[in-house]
């Protein structure tokens, strides 16, 4: 009886989703509403107003600055939630220690060999986000994944020691803080929240600082979640 | 059928196969690794749809970080679903 009900529910949901799918325009169709209204506007003025030669970055930083700020806050809140939950969990000293994950020497060597290249790629993605696909967040997840790989290969505690005390606190909060600062600067110089000053070296510096802060802060948040969860 | 449709079809079939295997297996490590494969294949679809920035995030978060977190949790709670 229960499998039949489950199958019925799955079938109904699939039907609704497929009906919605059929109503969607062809991807990239030039006459779909998305292409005729918003896109044309973005393509016309996006790179001028958006502060970045790459249109996706321009839209994320300018037209949807508030959304991006919200995303940055979401991952920061995730870290805070993990830290609060794990810090308030009762200390169970008698609990069985988790099986040590000792990677094979081959894996550990490959990870240590690749780490500098991953870090360089992450930095490249962050810095060139203004004119190539990518940006602070993408660079940040690459950097965060590298840190987690290093924690697995070299031992969690060695990686956790890399950033301690006050520096750890500020780096983890860097993305929302710098983003809020840029929003304030935008407000002061253009009268709009998340507005960017006119084209020039000042705007380029702001966008670069924002990308690096989102990247490094995002990486610290992701690594922080992993380090908090993997604490014995 | 155009080559690009064929690519989409292959990718989507692989993704559905991954999802069905994840639902059927009782070995949690296997499920986590299959989830990583699912994300990698989805990442190909993002590249194909000209969204390299989404693909980059998918590869790092979906195929990398999430699975590392899953595996660490599985090391704590035990490998087999009861």
The residue ranges of every structural domain in chain A are 65-85+102-229
**A164-187 pLDDT per residue, tens:** 778 888 888 888 999 889 888 888
Say yes or no: A27 contacts chain B, CB-CB below 8 A. yes
Task: Lowest mean pLDDT of A129-138, A163-172, B59-68, name the range.
Answer: A129-138
Q: What is the pLDDT of residue A51?
A: 58
Q: What is the pLDDT of residue A226?
A: 87
Q: What is the pLDDT of residue A104?
A: 82
Say if the Cβ atoms of B53 and A138 lie within 8 Å: yes
Question: Which carries the bigger pLDDT value, residue A17 or residue A96?
Answer: A17
Q: Inform me whether the pLDDT recorded for A2 exceeds 70.
A: yes
ipTM score assigned to the predicted complex: 0.79
Say yes or no: A224 contacts chain B, CB-CB below 8 A. no
Say if the Cβ atoms of A222 and B65 lie within 8 Å: yes
Q: What are phi and psi of A6, to 5 degrees?
A: -60, -45
Say if the Cβ atoms of B56 and A142 lie within 8 Å: yes
CA distances from A153 to A47, A120, A150, A189, A216 (A): 42, 19, 5, 47, 21
- Look-up of token digits 């809140």: A77
Say yes or no: B20 contacts chain A, CB-CB below 8 A. no
Say if the Cβ atoms of B72 and A101 lie within 8 Å: yes
- Look-up of token digits 């109904």: A12
Shortest distance between the Cα of B13 and any Cα of chain A, in A, equals 16
**Closest residue on chain B to A144 (Cα):** B65
Average pLDDT value for residue range A69-94 = 81
Q: What is the pLDDT of residue A195?
A: 73
Distance CA A183, CA A177 (A): 10
Query: Which band of pLDDT confidence, cut at 50, 70 and 90, is reported for residue A94?
Result: very low
**B63-82 pLDDT per residue, tens:** 888 988 888 888 888 888 77
pTM, two decimals, is 0.78
Q: What is the pLDDT of residue A19?
A: 92
CB contacts, 8 Å: B69 with chain A: 225-226, 229
Please classify residue A196 by burial: count the beta carbons closer than 10 Å to its beta carbon, then call 0-12 exposed, 13-18 middle and 19+ buried: buried
Question: Which carries the bigger pLDDT value, residue A39 or residue A92?
Answer: A39
Distance CA B75, CA B68 (A): 11
Which of B52, B61, B72 minimises the CB distance to A141? B61
Q: What is the pLDDT of residue B64?
A: 85
Q: What is the pLDDT of residue A101?
A: 58
Q: What is the pLDDT of residue A113?
A: 93
Distance CA B43, CA B62 (A): 9
Which of A108, A31, A80, A116 lies closest to A224 in space, CA to CA? A80
CB contacts, 8 Å: B68 with chain A: 145, 148-149, 152, 226
Please list the residues that pair with B27 across neighbouring strands. B80
Task: Lowest mean pLDDT of A39-53, A168-182, B12-26, B67-81, name the range.
Answer: A39-53
Q: Inform me whether the pLDDT recorded for A52 exceeds 70.
A: no
Shortest distance between the Cα of A232 and any Cα of chain B, in A, equals 10
First CA to last CA across chain A, in angstroms?
44
């Amino acid at each position: 009886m229960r499998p039949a009900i489950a199958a019925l529910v799955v079938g109904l949901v699939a039907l609704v989703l497929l009906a919605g799918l059929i109503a969607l325009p062809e991807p990239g169709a030039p006459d779909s509403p998305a292409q005729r209204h918003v896109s044309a506007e973005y393509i016309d003025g996006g790179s001028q107003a958006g502060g970045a030669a790459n249109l996706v970055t321009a839209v994320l930083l300018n037209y949807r600055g508030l959304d991006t700020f919200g995303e940055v806050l979401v991952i920061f809140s995730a870290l805070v939630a993990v830290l609060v939950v794990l810090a308030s969990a009762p200390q169970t000293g008698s609990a069985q220690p988790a099986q040590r994950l000792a990677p094979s020497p081959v894996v550990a060597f490959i990870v240590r060999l690749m780490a500098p290249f991953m870090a360089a790629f992450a930095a490249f993605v962050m810095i060139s986000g203004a004119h190539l696909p990518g940006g602070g967040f993408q660079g940040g997840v690459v950097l965060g994944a590298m840190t987690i790989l290093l924690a697995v290969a070299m031992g969690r505690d060695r990686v956790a020691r890399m950033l301690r005390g006050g520096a750890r606190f500020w780096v983890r909060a860097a993305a929302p803080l710098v983003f809020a600062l840029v929003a304030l600067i935008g407000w002061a110089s253009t009268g709009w929240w998340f507005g960017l000053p006119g084209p020039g070296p000042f705007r380029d510096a702001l966008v670069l600082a924002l990308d690096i802060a989102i990247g490094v802060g995002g990486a610290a948040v992701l690594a922080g979640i992993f380090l908090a969860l993997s604490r014995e | 059928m155009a080559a690009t449709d064929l690519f989409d079809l292959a990718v989507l079939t692989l993704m559905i196969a991954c999802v069905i295997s994840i639902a059927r297996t009782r070995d949690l490590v296997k499920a986590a690794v299959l989830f990583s494969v699912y994300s990698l294949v989805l990442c190909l679809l993002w590249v194909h749809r000209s969204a390299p920035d989404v693909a980059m995030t998918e590869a790092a978060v979906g195929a990398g970080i999430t699975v590392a977190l899953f595996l660490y949790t599985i090391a704590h709670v035990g490998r087999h679903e009861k």
